[in-house]
Structure 1
Amino acid sequence: MIRKKWAGAAVPVAAALLLSACGGDADSPGGGLQGTDQAAQGSWSINEKPYAEVKEGGELKWPLDALPDNWNYNQLDGTLLDHDYILSAIIPKLHKADKAGKVVANPAYLESATLTSTEPQVVTYKLNPKAKWSDGTAFSWEDFDAQFKALNGSNPAYSVSGTTGYEDIEKVEKGAADNEVVVTFKKKFAEWTSLFTPLYPKALNSDPKEFNEGWKTEPKITAGPFKIGTIDQTAKLVTLVRDDSWWGDKAKLDKITYRVVERAALADSLASGAIDWYTIGSSVDNFQRAKSMQGVEVREAPGKSYNHVTFNGAPTSILADQKLRVAVMKAMDPNVYAKGILGPIVADPKALGNHFFLQGTANYVDNSAPVKADKEAAKADLDALGWKLDGEFRKKDGKQLDIRLVSTAGNPISEQIGKLTQAQLKEVGVNVIIDAQPPAAFFADFVNTGNFDMVGFGWSQTPWPISSSKGIYYLDEKNVNQNYGRIGSPEINKLLDEANGELDDAKRVELTNQADKLIWESGHHLPLYQVPGARAVRATVVNFGAFGVADPDYTKIGFAG
């Protein structure tokens, strides 16, 4: 499954739960998909049509891996990519990325957002005066103030998925007019456009119990082109219907139906009409099925997700020793995963060598040298640590080197990753026990709680790659954030703090790559490969498909007229 990264929180996804699509046959040999280092940045494939040419009405049927564990995206259990798919249609996102990846203010909610001072840093927001919550309340500076206080880390009663950026704010105040918000920082925060995206109403953020539990079963207040129609936990189904009180462009669709569909059933569901698209991702079968399906297009753009294996460095884990984690990583060759899983559909797939910047972007550099794949070195390191081969597997002080890898059940790519991990580590005498869990319990009961030795899932990148990743690698004794493996160091923390406070772009990137090198040395997690950005989409669907680095416009999604 996949989690998504946002400025206080990144977004994870169960491994192999990340899928994306492209338009028409790709240029790769054999009609395969483009490699993530080959896809043209700033491109998308969405069957783009002007708003006026989109058919009025209709229902888009959208597959999910699981329903949200919490409808509060900023709560630890809520930060999932599937949740964001629904959230983006009903909850305000003040900033969004355009086709080229440029972050722009969302005019539906903001007239402007301006850096009005750098000493101290001050950002002034002018709200769209038409913007109001579904209970009729106008957007207010108090919504901003409540969210800042809930997410700044000062009150541990709030179970937050991240504090990045909010912890750097000194105060939030009403500006010169009712629709003006002034945010003053006590410490510089470069990627400030990531804040208050999504924005929740004051009522959610003003009380820890309401923040943690009040929205577990449903969102109580919304503000978007759609609103909740029904939530059926038994049928694993959510419907959104057009919100007639929306002040922006009227949504073209009457309805969006989100239903949970097992990965192995995606192609059959599209063929039968139960869904209108699916993410292809790493699946050879789903790619081949999409190419052969009548009335279906493969739409392709740069991918922004990657699959990886996170290690658990908590004192109770067998992998608490950094030297042991690195030794194990050396036995796991990311190129074996990339070629074994993507090889049949991508020409010369590459392993990913950076935790922050994706292949094909200007800032990407391979920093993975500290854990370079080398099985002989891994064996020597394990011997030196006292884990001696005793029969088929290694033992130390009478204890066998058993590592429990938690994955998602019913997910073919997770199964492949598990088998490849098991086979590679067996070669060096490490026994991997695969523990497959249902998608509905995977994050809430296992990932978020640290109930694993290793765990495989995906991260989905955001327009703010540095700040959105901070909570994954920052080690904070008071708040796990999204550092599920509890691994880090004061040196990494310092570099991440400096990077997030550096307003000079080049210096910020340099500091981030310095932190990345230390993260590789720490044995935090092992990126495997970037997932191709390809989706199989019904040909009649317009303004939807492979968005690349852009955010979808839910008012324009629909069907050909």
Structure 2
Amino acid sequence: MRTRPRSLALTAMAAATALALVACGGGNGANDPGLAPAEQQPQGVNDVNPLPRDQVRDGGDLRWPLDAIPDNFNINHVDGNLLENRFVVDALLPGAFTRQADASVALDEDYFTSVELTAESPQVVTYTINPQASWDDGTPLTWSDLQAQWQALNGTNPAYLPADTAGYDSIASVERGVDDKQAVVTFAEPFAEWRALFEHIYPAATNLDPDAFNTGWLTGIGTTAGPFRTESVDTTAQTITLVRNPNWWGEPAKLDRIIFRVVERSALADALANNEIDFYSIGSDVNLFARAQTIQGVTVRQATEPVYNHITFNGAPGAILSDPALRHALVRGIDRQAIASALIGQIVPDVEPLNQYIYLQGSADYVDHAQDVSFDPAAANAELDALGWVSPGPGQPRTRDGQTLTVRYVETTGNPISERIVGLTAAQLTAIGVNLERVPVASADLFDQYVTPGNFDMIGFAYSGSPFPIVSNRSVFVSGSESNVSRINTPEIDALFQQAATELDDAARTELNQQIDQALWEALPLLPLYQASGAYAVRETLANFGAGGFADDVYTDIGFTG
């Protein structure tokens, strides 16, 4: 899957990738046993074949398939904000916290000995850097690296093109603490999700120069500081090779190398069977799921994953779906359970639609707030009647004042998953008198020509969440944000996000987030469909790797048992 995460680290938001870039589906798979239902999988558990380091052999190459070489290896840049880039740079760059399987975060002690909220009025967070932490060129990692990153990402200099400024734009200063290994961060206004900051830290030289920030990591990887270092980036062979870093001060990596290689989705199963790669993401592809069960030495690992498919509505002034009552009526006519079951029911039996915007399935705070928009064709028809959209007969498009109720659904060409979702939605909406016009477009044109300019009524994406729901979601749903591609917002939602963003009490902030979710179900800027299966086909001998769920990979512990 090639997805733009809503948050990087997740700390910054960008528009998500279209379903055209998600795994393709097909096949019947009627006798496939499937995997455990998502609701039966304990919160806080992933499926990675966990083994102590002494049971993992030293050496070996992990061959990791990618959909594409990242557009920019600066993950903090708007063009670098891709999940595939994260797979690469997580092995190379410092960060303050790592994500855990239960959707919490933990201090990364390889880089920081402590990161603490040391004052609340004004808010101050003190970062104490591991004395051993240094860049591969021998330069120590210091407070000035954090200061430079804040200056690049705070939005005050238009020459920089960051993926997002969330949190960094709330900081008043980053100053030297007791020594060069301590940074004191003082906020101009409270920032509740401060742990989301400084997740992927780049050298000061990258962040002090806008040109270096924007273009310095376009075709290659600069100075890093991780358990691996870069050996090569070969755009011709479409490979990225990382090797164990001899200068690493922490637990040494078990693997000799990680070789990222671009592999077409249609070729993944054959590549794994032919011993060319060591795993692949199954996603919504029942064919890939069925093939995984036939490949010798391969197992399927699965854990609830914070990625979901959805339909975004265009609510811009003048758009047919600018009327929230009409959006509500259409949603009552869409059977999300049928869509979820059709797409991944063979992979995850008893799958349920996603009924939250803010907290995803697998989070302790996930609550179903979607009861008012449950599938009910009779209610949908009644609501459309009340809005004056008259039905000339069963299956015939409704009209009002001489206008046909036509909705343009933009879909990506050549993608079976996108085609299946749109096809099911079209049939369901036709049944309540909506003329759904399918508009096929090339995936390369989807964002520039359709999403960004608002050239759609309905459109499909995949979004990625994070342990930081405000950072992840705020720019998607508030007014005045370029990332709010639905153009749908309300003063209530804006105010609740502002209040939650500055609420330092965890319980109070969670309650505000639940209020935001309820308000979003009333506004309906988009319709969540189903959460990703989180299923992966993985070589049986691969340890500490597979279906990570909400957790980051621990690159030093990944390896083979034989």
Whether 1:417 and 2:418 are equivalent positions in the alignment is: no
SS of match in other structure, 2:4: strand
Matched, 1:236 2:222: no
Asked if the contact 1:407/1:418 (under 8 Å) is kept, the reply is yes
In 2, Cα distance between the equivalents of 1:520 and 1:197?
31
1:473 correspondence with 2:477: yes
The structure 2 residue matched to 1:218, chosen from 204, 220, 225, is 220
Q: Matches of 1:224 and 1:443 in 2, distance apart?
A: 33
SS of the counterpart of 1:200?
Answer: coil
Structure 1 CA distance for aligned equivalents of residues 306 and 87 of structure 2:
15
Q: CA deviation at 1:106?
A: 0.8
Cα drift, residue 501 of structure 1? 1.7
In 2, the alpha carbon distance for the partners of 1:74 and 1:125 equals 20
Aligned residue for 2:339, secondary structure, equals helix
Is the 2:47–2:301 contact (alpha carbons within 8 Å) kept by the matching residues of 1?
yes
CA contact (8 A) 2:66 2:262 kept: yes
Q: Is the 8 A contact 2:12 2:472 kept in 1?
A: yes
Higher-RCO chain (CA-CA 8 Å, sequence separation at least 6): 1
> For each residue in 1:539-561, what CA deviation from the matched residue of structure 2 results, as whole angstroms up to 9, or x when unmatched?
12111111232211111112114
Task: Determine helix, strand or coil for the equivalent of 1:37.
Answer: helix
Aligned to 2:437: 432
Deviation by residue 1:344-374 (Cα, 9 ceiling, x = unmatched): 2333221111011122432111122453333
Counterpart of 1:26 in structure 2 is none
2:371 maps to 1:366: no
Deviations 1:244-275 (A, max 9, x none): 33332222222222223333332222112222
The answer to whether the aligner puts 1:454 opposite 2:458 as a matched pair is yes
| Preserved CA contact (<8 Å) 2:102 2:362 | no
5+ long unaligned stretches in structure 2: 24-30
CA shift, 1:135, in A, is: 4.0
What is the alpha-carbon distance in structure 2 between the residues aligned to residue 397 and residue 204 of structure 1? 59
2:11 alignment counterpart: 7
In 2, Cα distance between equivalents of 1:347 and 1:514: 31
- The 3 A distance-change label for structure 1 pair 315 and 69 is farther
Structure 1 position 44, deviation (Å): 2.2
Question: Would you say 1:154 and 2:151 are equivalent positions?
Answer: no
Residue-by-residue CA offset, 1:181-239 (whole Å, 9 max, x unaligned): 00011222222111011122223333444433443333333222223333333443322
Q: Is the 8 A contact 1:495 1:511 kept in 2?
A: yes
After superposing the two structures, state which structure 1 stretch, 35-44 or 237-246, moved more.
Answer: 237-246
Question: SS where residue 240 of structure 2 aligns?
Answer: strand
Relative distance call for 1:97 and 1:380 in structure 2 (3 A) is same
Q: 2:117 — aligned with what? A: 115
Give the fraction of aligned pairs with identical amino acids, expressed as a percent.
47
| Pair 1:315–1:86, CA change in 2 (3 A) | farther
The separation in 2 between residues aligned to 1:112 and 1:499, in whole angstroms, is 25
TM-fit CA distance, 1:388? 5.4
Q: 1:191 to 1:311 in 2, by over 3 A?
A: same
Match of 2:77 among 75, 83, 86: 75
Q: What secondary structure does 2:437 align onto?
A: strand
The answer to whether the Cα contact below 8 Å between 1:16 and 1:281 also exists between their aligned partners in 2 is no
Match of 1:338 in 2: 340
- CA drift at 1:116: 0.9
Structure 1-normalised TM-score?
0.89
What TM-score do the two structures reach when normalised by structure 2? Answer: 0.89
**1:275 and 2:280 are equivalent in the alignment:** no
Q: CA deviation at 1:381?
A: 4.4
Distance 1:210 1:386 in 2: 57
Q: Is this contact kept in 1: 2:103–2:363, CA < 8 A?
A: no
Tell me the equivalent position of 2:264.
262
Task: Say whether the 8 Å CA contact 1:8–1:471 is kept in structure 2.
Answer: no
The one-character-per-residue Cα deviations of 1:521-553 (angstroms, maximum 9, x if unpaired) are 222111101222221101121111112322111
Question: Using the alignment, how far apart are the partners of 1:208 and 1:394 within structure 2?
Answer: 53
Code of the aligned partner of 2:506: D
Distance 1:409 1:233, change over 3 A: farther
Superposed displacement of residue 88, structure 1:
0.8
CA distance in 2, matches of 1:398, 1:236: 54
The 1:135–1:383 alpha-carbon spacing in structure 2 relative to 1, beyond 3 Å, is: farther
Pair 1:485-2:486 in alignment: yes
Change (3 A) 1:493 1:336: same
AA in 2 matched with 1:533 = G
Taking the TM superposition and a 5 Å limit, the aligned residue runs for 1:298-447 are: 298-315=300-317, 318-382=320-384, 392-394=396-398, 401-427=405-431, 428-438=433-443, 447=451
State the shift of 1:392 in Å: 4.9
CA distances 1:427-457 after superposition (whole Å, capped 9, x unpaired): 232223142434x665566545655443322
Q: Is the 8 A contact 1:173 1:183 kept in 2?
A: yes
Structure 1 residues 258 and 91: CA distance shift in structure 2, 3 A = same
Inter-CA distance 135–441: structure 2 relative to 1 (3 Å threshold) = farther
SS in 1 for 2:260: strand
Q: Is the 8 A contact 2:65 2:263 kept in 1?
A: yes
Q: Which amino acid aligns with 1:437?
A: A
Alpha-carbon deviation of 1:380?
Answer: 4.7
- CA offset digits 1:272-296 (Å, max 9, x no partner): 2222111222222222221222100
Determine which of 439, 464, 468 is the counterpart of 1:464: 468
Q: C-alpha displacement at 1:317, in angstroms?
A: 5.0
**Matched-pair contact (CA < 8 Å) for 1:474–1:493:** yes
SS in 2 for 1:419: helix
Contact 2:44 2:362 in 1 (8 A): no
Deviation at 1:399, TM superposition (A): 6.3
Q: Which amino acid aligns with 2:348?
A: V
